[in-house]
Structure 1
Amino acid sequence: MNEHPAASRLAAAAGLPAGRPALTLVLPTFNESGNLAEAIRRVGQVLAGVGWEVIVVDDDSPDGTSALAKSIAVENPRVRCIRRVGRRGLAGACIEGMLASSAPVVAVMDADLQHDEALLPQMYALIAGGEADVAVGSRFVAGSEVKGLSRLREFASTVANETARRMLGVTLADPMSGFFMLRREIVDAAAPKLANQGFKILLDILSVSPRTLKVHELPFTFRDRVAGESKLDSLVMLEFLGLLVSRYLGGALPVRFFMFALVGLTGVVVHLISLRVGITVGRLAFNEAQLIATFVAMTWNFFLNNRLTYSDRRLRGFWGLTRGLITFYLVCSVGVVGNVGIAGWLNSLDQTWWIAGTAGALVGAVWNFSATAMLTWRVH
């Protein structure tokens, strides 16, 4: 079969040897065994004439998605599979897949059959022909149609897109799109600054790119999901909010720290409630009540951080949780000393228990974040 003209030009410009892929399509998956084979079949049909490959990046799906991908790869050498064990997240999966490519052009598409694979050749022609650095399948430009979103999710997407445009100055109609294609060199340049947490990687790439990119949006029909369930949940929305805040502040605040801080705010409430109960119900001296409240809040923070902030590195099982909780206590001990000392000192000055308690609870925040990240959840 004759090769696509744009593919021939791009392959020659990149110095690719014959038979090497000019386009890598990354399919991030979690529990997509019911859709994956059909998605790959459709991709092969529409990309005839283009030297393509598919990298399935699976987050250790319990439904056997990675095993299915590897069985497909046995029959189809264009397919590869990366099985990620002990780490989760759509953004991280997309980054890992794109960085595993040696092709000059990379694309990301969902494996749930909601994205229209027929758009891929047009996107590729724009990139290969130099008309665009990034081609985006957009749900919200003229000619698009959205079928696969509930009214609530469509409203949430609209609000998220508008928020992203206002906060980050992004001019795209659909910066939250998960269907896009770009030159791999753009990903390579942006990779050190990209956040592994989050649900939408396109917005992050556009935000941290060191140069202005030519972006072309293309309309498509966002179809109904065939099998499986959507991965969008409240955690995803929190991570998205964290990404917006991080990028708005120029990356000075990591997404994970934003999540840690949100958990810490709930911990302050728990701390103050525990402190009040200790003082009024338990008839404890302030320092005693403050110490007990500190450990109650620390326990609360550990389990909530394990569920939210470190969802991709979640500690499981009795021994995993026990080890994590003990190390969390130990590494926060320095913060506890400062917490109790400062709170007691402030309370002795004006006897305002809630001001003293709040100040003490905030003293060890930065230490707690950095120390527990390294020693409890082992993020380096």
Structure 2
Amino acid sequence: MSRAENLDRVVVTALVPDLSIVIPARNEAANIGPLIDEISAIDGLGLIEIIVVDDGATDGTGDVVRGRMSLVPGLRLITHEAVLGQSAAIRTGVEAARAAMVATLDGDGQNPPGDLPRVVGPLTGGSVDLVAGQRTARHDTWSRRLASRLANGLRAACLDDGTRDTGCGLKAFRRDAYLRLPYFDHMHRFLPALFAREGLVIEHVGVGHRPRRGGRSHYSNAGRAIAGAADLLGVMWLIHRSKGSRRPRRVTEISVSHHEV
């Protein structure tokens, strides 16, 4: 890279982005490179930064990202020394984000990046706080699809959050609204209910889904069921305790300049 090209990169990355794209990734070396390339080629998102959170990967995921950092302006890498889980990785990425709007998608590449403009679009008007993608066709094993359908049905019946596919990783939200939420492990699967708990506005958008290029899923049906049952009870308790005590959607401070006094 020439000195002039390097200077151009420094100037671009110093600007405040319009959108931060957070990608939690653990052992996704086979998928993360092509995913970054796809995102960087998308038009219509404004100035973006791509934040990959390496959640204790042992397969060189971080090395793949570092190899593209000189080629993709705004690409950032944050690493966890140990595996902390998807919710923790998302939280790390959102805390590091510099844009007011954040989008998330899974590091396995199964969320088509081409859907990002449609998911982010409703946020730009200012009246929506969370846009939740809902997969219209699943490219998973029949057992995963069945387990997901049962889990989503139970969750929807208990939380009444209007979401049929809360496990979809493709979402977009206001950063400040997300950071107001109570944090707990696996919270990424309950974002619509948690946003609704705060009196925030949610919109759902149908998105695609595709097979993995490589690697394997880090979740088992049994593990999800055990953790999901405890999480569901906890979220139900949170919603119950918040009734009648919702905070305002936005807070505005009115200041008076000295010459007006």
TM > 0.5 fold call: yes
The answer to whether the 8 Å contact 2:45/2:117 transfers is no
How far is 1:214 from its partner? 2.0
Larger C-alpha radius of gyration, 1 or 2? 1
What per-residue deviation string (whole Å, max 9, x for no partner) do you get for residues 55-99 of structure 1? 101112110101221222233231111110134211111111111
For structure 2, the residue ranges without an aligned partner over 5 or more in a row are: 1-12, 241-261
Counterpart check, 1:247 vs 2:238: no
Find the aligned partners of 1:123 and 1:84 in 2 and give their Cα distance.
28
For the residues of structure 1 that align with 2:128 and 2:14, how far apart are their CA atoms? 25
2:200 equivalent among 213, 236, 239: 213
* 1:210, distance to aligned residue in structure 2 (A): 5.1
| 1:119 shift after superposition | 1.2
Question: Which aligned runs of 4 or more in structure 1 are off by greater than 4 angstroms?
Answer: none
Q: Name the SS of the counterpart of 1:249 in structure 2.
A: helix
Q: Deviations over 1:157-191 (max 9, x none)?
A: 1111111111222111222222100111111211x
Partner residue, 1:73: 69
Q: Is 2:166 aligned against 1:181? A: no
Provide the residue aligned with 1:37 in structure 2: 33
Q: State yes or no: 1:63 paired with 2:59.
A: yes
Residue 106 of structure 2 is matched in structure 1 by 110
Change (3 A) 1:219 1:209: closer
The alpha carbon displacement at 1:130 in A equals 2.8
User: More strand per residue: 1 or 2?
Assistant: 2
Q: Does the 8 A contact of 2:23 with 2:105 survive in 1?
A: yes
Structure richer in helix, relative to its length:
1
For each residue in 1:18-59, what CA deviation from the matched residue of structure 2 results, as whole angstroms up to 9, or x when unmatched?
832111111100111111111011111124551111110111
Is residue 231 from structure 1 mapped to residue 215 from structure 2 by the alignment? Answer: no
Please tell me the residue identity of whatever aligns with 1:112.
D
Q: Which runs of 5+ in 1 are unaligned?
A: 1-16, 253-380
Partner amino acid for 1:52?
I
Deviations 1:279-306 (A, max 9, x none): xxxxxxxxxxxxxxxxxxxxxxxxxxxx
In the aligned structure 1, how far is the partner of 2:84 from the partner of 2:163? 28
State the AA in 2 paired with 1:69: V
Query: How far apart are the structure 2 equivalents of 1:247 and 1:186?
Result: 17
1:105 deviates by: 0.4
Aligned to 2:256: none
- The number of residue pairs the alignment matches comes to 227
SS of 2:41's partner is helix
Percent identity over the alignment?
A: 24
Q: Deviations 1:182-234 (Å, cap 9, x if unpaired)?
A: 111111211xx121x22x60414632665222222111221111111011113
> Is 1:171 matched with 2:162?
yes
Instruction: Give the letter aligned to residue 19 of structure 2.
Output: L
Which residue among 183, 186, 192 is the counterpart of 1:194?
A: 183
CA RMSD of aligned residues (A): 2.2
Q: Which has the higher contact order (CA 8 A, sep 6+)?
A: 2
* Letter matched to residue 183 of structure 2: L
Give me the whole-angstrom Cα distance separating, in 1, the residues matched to 2:46 and 2:195: 30
